[in-house]
Amino acid sequence: MATNIELFERAQRVIPGGVNSPVRAFRAVGGTPRFIARGEGAYIYDAEGRRYVDYIGSWGPMILGHGHPAVVEAVQQAVRDGLSFGAPTEREIELAEAILALVPSMDQVRLVSSGTEATMSAIRLARGATGRTKFIKFEGCYHGHTDALLVKAGSGLATFGHPTSSGVPPETAQHTLVLEYNNVEQLEACFAAQGPELACVIVEPIAGNMNFVRASLPFMRRLRELCSQHGALLIFDEVMTGFRVGLTSAQGHYASLLPGFEPDISVFGKVIGGGMPLAAFGGKREVMKHLAPLGGVYQAGTLSGNPVATACGLATLREISRPGFFDALSAKTRQLVDGLKAVASDNGVPFSADCQGGMFGFFLLPELPQNYGTVMSTDKERFNRFFHGMLDAGIYLAPALYEAGFVSAAHSEADLAATLAAARSALR
C-alpha cells in the first residue's frame, strides 16, 4: 500500500504540481495532499486507509453522500446501455425537463460537460443576443478558467480587467469590467458610464470561491433593475449553488425575497451531474433562439448530454426532490454552523459563519465579510493551523481559506458531534 507522500512524489513526476486542479495540492495550507481511494456516505478514505468526515463532497455535487444506492444503480444501468453515442438520447430530454420544472426563469436549457464550458457559452450567448461586447464580473466571484474571466479589479472604478494568469493576453480581457461585490454605488456608476455597451453581468448569487459570501438584497435588487433598464442580460452562475442551497436554487431564494425576481440566463453544474462531468446553461426562449443550430451563436461538445452523466444527474435530482429533503439538510447545516460559532466563542476566537441549504462557510473574523477585500483580511496562518488540526482529527475541510463547505444528506448527528469536538480541540 502506497502512502500519501509516496503517491504525491510519484504524481509530481508526471502531473504538473502532482494534481489536476490546483487547490488539491495543499499549497495554500501546506502539508501533503490526501489521495482518496474511495467514498461511502459522508466519508472518504485515503490511500492509507484513514477515514475522514467529508465536507468537500467533490466541491458540491455529492449532496446525497458518496455511493447513494439509487444513483449507483442508475449509473450501472446506463453503463450497460452504452458509454457515449454522439447522438441524441431520450435521457437528455428527461434531464432538461427535470431542470426546467424546478427553474421557472428558463424555457430551454443546453447541456454541456463543465461549469467553465457553461459560463463561457452563457457569456457568448449574451453577446450574440445583444450585439454588445463588454460585460461585468465581480472580484472574488469565480466563473471557471476562461481567458476573459481570469481577471481582477484595478484600483479605479470599473477598471478594465488585467489577466491574473500568465498565458492570457491583455487584449483577451479588455472587454471585462471588474467591480466590487455588493457595492451598489460602484455598480450604478459603471452602468451610467458603460450601460449601452454592456452585454451582460455575470454573478455568483452566493459566492463560493471567496468562501461563502451572499449578495445583499439591495445589491441584487439594483443589479436586476440596472440590467433591465440598460438592456444587459443578467447571468446567474449557479454552478455551485444550483440545487445545493435549495430545490429552487439561489434564484428561488432571491425570488422569495424580491417578488418577480429572475435572471435572464442561468448556469448550473455540480449537483445536476451528481458527481459526473455535466453542466448546463439556459434562459428564456427568446434568448436561447440565438444558439446554434437555431441562431448564429456557436456551441458544441462531443460529450454534451453524455448518457451516463445524465443518468447520474437524473437520479440525484429525483432524490433531492423528495418531500422534506431540503428541510432536513438545511437544519443539519445550520446545526453545524451554529455549533462551530459556539465552539469558537468558548475559545475566544473571532469567528463568523453563514449557510444556505447544504452549503456553508466560516471566517476567522468577528463579522461576515461582504466583499473579497474583507475576505482577504482573514488570519491565514490561524486558518492553516485550524485546517490541519481538523484533518488530523479526521475532518476533511477545504484545503484553502477561500472555499465554501458542503454538508450532505448522509452526514449524521454523530458526524456533526465529532466535527464539533475536533473543532473545540483545534481552536483551543
Catalytically active residues, by annotation: 142, 237, 270
Question: What DSSP assignment string belongs to 226-251?
Answer: HHHHHTPEEEEEETTTTTTS-TTHHH
Give the number of other Cβ atoms within 10 Å of residue 70's Cβ. 12
Give the number of other Cβ atoms within 10 Å of residue 131's Cβ. 8
Q: What angle do CA 168, 172, 176 make, to 5 degrees?
A: 115
- Torsions phi, psi for 220 (to 5 deg): -65, -40
Residues forming beta bridges with residue 87, ordered by sequence position:
none
Residue type at 115 in one-letter notation = G
- Neighbouring residues of 369: CB distance < 8 A, sequence distance ≥ 6: 210, 213, 363, 375, 377, 378
126: nearest Cα among 237, 219, 221: 237
Cell of 278: 455535466
- Torsions phi, psi for 318 (to 5 deg): -65, -45
Question: What DSSP assignment string belongs to 5-21?
Answer: HHHHHHHHHHSGGGSSS
Q: How far is CA 402 from CA 36, 209, 405, in A?
A: 22, 6, 10
Range list of H helices, 131-208: 184-194
Question: What DSSP assignment string belongs to 38-74?
Answer: EEEBTEEEETT--EEEESSGGGTT-TT-BT-HHHHHH
3-state helix, strand, coil in the chain (%, to 5): 45, 20, 40
Measured distance CA(25)–CA(23) in Å, rounded = 5
